Amino acid sequence: MHRRTLGQGFEVSAVGLGCMGMSQSYGPNPGSRDDMIAVLRSALDLGVTFFDTAEVYGPFVNEELVGEALEPIRDEVQIATKFGWRIEDGKSVGVDSRPEQIRRVADASLKRLRTDVIDLFYQHRVDPDVPIEDVAGTVGELVKDGKVRHFGLSEAAAPTIRRAHTVHPVTALQSEYSLWTRDPEAEVLPTLAELGIGFVPFSPLGKGFLTGTVAPTTNFADGDIRATIPRFTEENRTANAELVDHVAELARRKGASPGQIALAWLLAQQPWIVPIPGTRRTSRIEENAGATQVPLSADELSDLDTLAQRIGVHGARYNESQMQYVNH
């Protein structure tokens, strides 16, 4: 797989791996911990070197899983993790990006990840009670201390990105972006282009919907976050089926999968965009990595660019409580 460069010269594989689903949010895991470790290690054989986790995934157990899996190949991979939540009794109970909390999280994450440096340390959500300048300055100190290599933000608005970047260079922004979630295009993407900051889209496959594997009749398992998301009600899945059918038809013509088309479209937007689709299966990692080899013509890209606007997307991407800390 070819490589891409985010901000500050940070080079990673063109497609990364979102590890959250191995520990939470999509119902019971289909395999054991050993199975997940094998899947994580198999990603490197397929060219994936960029792995995304967070302390809040689990909480804590996803970092432990990633740390154990990648320890033998640590020098060959890049690990991103995140701070910014207050965790009590195993649950996140609000945001917390106070400088002392950031330092505590960094030290704890380093232990769980079995490493002496975090390649990319994101603020998971903007904390309205802590100036972003203080956050950037604290991460800058961690960089000077050798505990962190790069600073990132997640779901931050363009003015916040600018303010942070003046204190310590932002390497990447991680936010939701896909064929059916186009929010970053108006203000965020132009800001990133201007400042030389990379973009890491999460949920690039629409939490599975754009792969064509989620039907209107799908019953979500206990613990599956999609059961709480307005866009995934049965009514909205039915209404959104036309969008994924269109992607699937193009995929058939190209000899690709719908997911590969969705990822290829993202990769074609900018050379500094690196999507991180999540999966629990090596076969899916191989499929996602193959998206880098799917060429899209100018006409095909133009058609996909207007798809959501032309067909319409039904349902919000998050419920009200989930949107509380988005786009600050």
Is 177 assigned a catalytic role? no
Catalytic residue among 26, 57, 318, 325: 57
Query: What count of other Cβ atoms lies within 10 Å of the Cβ of residue 219?
Result: 8
- Read out DSSP for 7-37? GGG-EEESS-EE-GGGTSSBSS-SS-HHHHH
- Name the packing angle between helices 132-144 and 99-112 (round to 10°): 40
Looking at residue 49, its amino acid is T
- My answer on whether omega of the bond before 230 falls inside 30° of 0, hence cis, is no
For residues 205 and 270, what is the distance between their CA atoms, to the nearest angstrom? 17
Identify the CA nearest to 152 among candidates 14, 73, 69, 54: 54
Identify the CA nearest to 151 among candidates 173, 178, 122, 177: 122
**Local structure of 103: helix, strand or coil:** helix
β-partners of residue 51 are 17, 79
Under 8 Å CB-to-CB from 171, ≥6 apart: which residues?
6, 7, 8, 10, 120, 150, 151, 152, 197, 198
Please give the positions annotated as active site: 57
